[in-house]
Amino acid sequence: MLVESQQLELKREYTEDVKKTIIAFANTQGGELLIGVRDDGSVAGLEDATKIQLQVSNTIRDAIQPDVTMFYRYDIKIMEGKEILSVNVQRGTDRPYYLAGKGIRPEGVYVRQGASTVPASRAAIIQMIQETSGNSYEDARSLRQDLTFEKTATFFQQRQVLFGITQQKTLHLIGEDNTFTNLALLLSDQCPLSMKMAQFEGSTKTVFKDRREISGSLLQQLEDAYDYIDKLNRTRAEIRGLYRIDMRDYPPEAVREALLNAIVHKDYSYNSSTLVSLFDDRLEIVTIGGLMKGVALDDVLMGLSVLRNQQLANVFYRLKLIETYGTGMLQINNSYNDYTVKPRMEVSSNAFKITLPNTNFARGTSISNSVINRPVPDTSAREEQVMRLFDKSEHIVRKDVENALGVSQSTAINLLRVMTEKSLLIKKGKGKTLTYLMNNYHQ
């Protein structure tokens, strides 16, 4: 007498639940499905076993992902003079297998529990992903497959880099099983991790002056975080003889490299936000994930780079956000060469912190906010690009800056605001009629 067990399932006839059973066998220890046998083990038989065989084949091909066809075989058998269909399923190597219409979620992933087919727990799904994908978080299949890439696609377009299906596969956003990886999740509009920004009064975390949480694609978070800090990064003016010397609180290059380091080297297997804190005397960036095994802080300061997220770093390299691996910390330190205060890096077993000292606070000079906050003309690359727009037109609008520089709306607004405060530009009109003219005094 046949009895159902963890590796044997009996079905009187073909039903839609057959696909759940096949998924469960492929996700657990394999097993055999007999169609044409009653639950009590008695043989009912099939009127047209060949037709049922075709139905099972179509179901496996159309309703189950990833492709499980390599791990099953079916045979028409004769039991007690009647035809039945035997479907033997091996344990698959691309677990978890799931219903194409449900995705990698408990309602789409099934396992065998005793003689029953049941939805897998979230913990069991994650364990299967880890077992089949290795220890690399970014290469593992994403639990979410309904991903969109509006912001990331815009970044690629602005930098004239293709972002089609072929490129997504090359960059490992799409895995060998044609599903989105965790790298895709991090670069998608649905990225579940965030960056928390806060400005404090004084030098302690006692009184908040401002706070916000930045979400979206990691590329979006990078841009928004830099813009937030840049708005608070004041310029101090000092007269030395006949010359006026202008100094930002934090060297922009150091801010940029510190943010890139926090994003590229973070351990994304932890569901934790990156913390960015601005005090009167310093800027702190704390990210989860200590140094890679065998790497010491001194090694990092010397320029050694052991990447935790190789594929993510490659994306940033393709977009020319990073130039060569291992130069970030060197560039941060070099940007403070002309100052007595120096950046500080601290590491624990699970976290990394970069502290950028406020160069103007360290000088200890009392100066009015009106002078500190007043930006002055400089020769930044972006500002030069904006000024060149006036070679073709007497006035420009925000959209002209977005298109010419390949930046977001918020970045363009901030850049035009700074250039206006520097008296490089003159605003004319308001709202939809707002335009910018070049201040001929600074030509």
Helix (H) or strand (E) holding 118: strand 116-119
The verdict on residue 351 lying in a domain is: yes
Q: Is residue 3 part of a domain?
A: no
Per-residue pLDDT of 14-72, as tens digits, reads 999 999 999 999 999 999 999 999 999 999 999 999 999 999 999 899 999 988 988 89
What is the domain-level CATH number for residue 23?
3.30.950.30
- pLDDT surpasses 50 at 177: yes
Closest Cα partner for 70 from 88, 55, 52? 88
Structure-token match 């219903």, residue found? 99
Same domain, 354 and 412: no
Domain boundary pick from 93, 109, 133:
133
Mean pLDDT, rounded, for 248-263: 93
Per-residue pLDDT averaged across 208-213, rounded? 93
What would the DSSP string read from start to end of 185-233?
HHHSTT----EEEEEEETTSTTEEEEEEEE-SSHHHHHHHHHHHHHHH-
What percent of the chain has a predicted confidence (pLDDT) above 70? Answer: 88
Residue-wise pLDDT tens digits, 327-356: 778 889 889 988 889 999 888 878 889 999
- pLDDT category at 222 given cuts 50, 70, 90 is very high
- With 80 as the cut, is the pLDDT of residue 186 above it? yes
Residues 222, 105 share a domain: no
pLDDT score for 362: 62
Residue 96 CA to residue 105 CA, distance in Å, equals 10
Same domain (yes/no): 368, 283: yes
Q: Of 125, 121, 119, which is closest to residue 140 (Cα–Cα)?
A: 125
Residue 205 sits in the same domain as residue 326:
yes
Bigger pLDDT: 243 vs 387? 387
How far apart are the C-alpha atoms of 345 and 254, rounded to whole Å? 13
Tokens for 422?
């520097």
Assess whether 60 and 108 both reside in one domain: yes
Q: Is residue 182, in this structure, part of any structural domain at all? A: no
* Among candidate residues 379, 243, 260, 375, the one with its CA nearest the CA of residue 324: 260
Tell me which of 81, 116, 133 is where a domain ends: 133
In a domain, 205, yes or no: yes
Would you say residue 306 lies in a domain? no
Q: What is the pTM of this model?
A: 0.61
Q: Do residues 362 and 395 both lie within one domain? A: no
Nearest residue to 32 via CA among 22, 40, 42, 41: 22
With respect to residue 20, please indicate whether it lies within any of the assigned structural domains. Answer: yes
Residue 370 — pLDDT band, cuts 50, 70, 90? very low
Asked if residue 358 and residue 274 are part of one domain, the reply reads yes
Does one domain contain both 360 and 397? Answer: no
CB-based contact 88:104 (threshold 8 Å)? no
Residue 60, Ramachandran bin (φ over 0: left; ψ between -120 and 50: alpha; else beta) = alpha
- Coil, strand, or helix at residue 340? coil
Question: Would you say residue 23 lies in a domain?
Answer: yes
**257 shares a domain with 282:** yes
pLDDT given for residue 372 in this prediction: 37
Structural domains of the chain, count:
3
Q: Which domain holds residue 18?
A: 8-133
CA distance 217 to 418: 26
Q: Which residues contact 423 (CB under 8 A, 6 or more apart)?
A: 377, 439, 441, 442
Give the residue from 104, 94, 70, 92 showing the smallest Cα distance to 25: 92
pLDDT, tens digit (0-9, with 9 covering 90-100), for 388-423: 898 888 889 999 998 888 888 878 888 888 888 777
Q: Does residue 348 lie within any of the structural domains? A: yes
